[in-house]
Amino acid sequence: MPLDHDVIGVESEPYERSWTSKDTLLYAVGVGAGLGDPLRELPFTTENSAGVRQRVLPTFAVLAAQAPLGRRFGDFDPAMLVHAEQSFELHRELPPEGTVRTTSKVTGIYDKGSGALVVTEAAAVDAATGDPMITSRSSVFIRGEGGWGGDRGPRTTWEEPDRAPDHKLTYETRPEQALIYRLSGDRNPLHSDPAFAARAGFDRPILHGLCTYGVTGRALLHALTDGDPSRFRSMSGRFTTPVFPGESLTINIWVDDRTARFQTLKPDGRPAISHGVATFI
C-alpha cells in the first residue's frame, strides 16, 4: 500500500506523557552513564548521593516528546524501517520527573528512490503551565517505499572542519546495551530478536540509533558544558551506519563559539552519526 500523503500537516490530538525519577535514571544507564567509572556521572545515575542532586541527560528529551501521530501514514513491513535523522531543541532544563503535553505531525514524505523518507515534528509543553519544553524532529527511512517520482526533499549541507577535532572522546558500549536501553520504551525486536534482525539484513541485533545518539549526547554534554544540562540547547544528527552492542564509539567535536559540529565513529572509522550539530550556552 502506498504511503498516505494526506497525513502531511495534520496535527495530532494532544498526548500527555509523564516520567519519574526512576525513568530518567534508567535512561542514563541505558545510554552508558557510569560505564567504566560508576562515580563519574552520579547526578544522572543516582537520586540519593550526598551533596549531589539528580539531573537529566538532555537527550532524554527525545523520549519525553514522543507521541503517537494522529493517523497512520501507510502499511509497510516494519523490518524495512530505520531511524534516519533526529534533532531536538530544549526550551528549559528537563526535571527528573515531570509531565508534558505533546502534539505531533508529519511534515514531509520524500521520494529517495530506494525508499521513502518520512519526517515528523513534535512540540511538547509543560502540562501544568503550558510553557514550551521540547521541540523534537525525526525522520525514518522505509526501504522499498520510494520510486513514485516525488520530491526528494531539502538538501542539508555539512562539512567536516579542516582541522583536528577540539575534543575527541571514546565511549564504550556494553554487549547487553540494547537490552538495557529497550527498557526505556523502544521494544523494537530489531534490537533484541535475531530472527527479526535477519529479516532486516543483519546477522545479529543492532543497537538502537537513539542509544548511539544518547551516548553521543553524553560526550557533547561533558565536552561542551562541563556536564551542566542547563547549558545544553540543541542537537541534531544523521544515522549513517548501524552500531552493534559492545562496539566503542569515538565522538569528534569541533567547536565554533556556541555551536559544535560532531561525528560519531565506529571502531573501523565509519560514521555511525554524521552531519552532527549541537548548540550550547
Segments making up each domain of the chain, as ranges = 5-280
Any bridge partners for residue 9, and if so which? Answer: none
**Residue 226 bears catalytic tag:** no
Calpha distance 279→58 (Å, rounded) = 12
The superfamily (CATH) of domain 5-280 is Hotdog Thioesterase (3.10.129.10)
Active-site residue (options: 83, 111, 191, 275): 191
pLDDT, residue 92, reads 97
- What CA–CA distances, in Å, run from 277 to 11, 22, 42, 89? 27, 29, 26, 11
pLDDT band at 65 (very low <50, low <70, confident <90, very high): very high
pLDDT, residue 70, reads 65
pLDDT, residue 171, reads 98
Any bridge partners for residue 279, and if so which? Answer: 234, 259
Phi-psi region of 83 (alpha: psi -120 to 50; beta: other; left: phi over 0): beta
**Residue 275 bears catalytic tag:** no
pLDDT digits (tens, 9 = 90+) for 172-200: 999 999 999 999 999 999 999 999 999 88
Active-site residue (options: 186, 228, 257, 275): 186
Calpha distance 261→252 (Å, rounded) = 8
Q: What is the pTM of this model?
A: 0.94
Task: Check if the beta carbon of residue 204 is closer than 8 Å to that of residue 243.
Answer: no
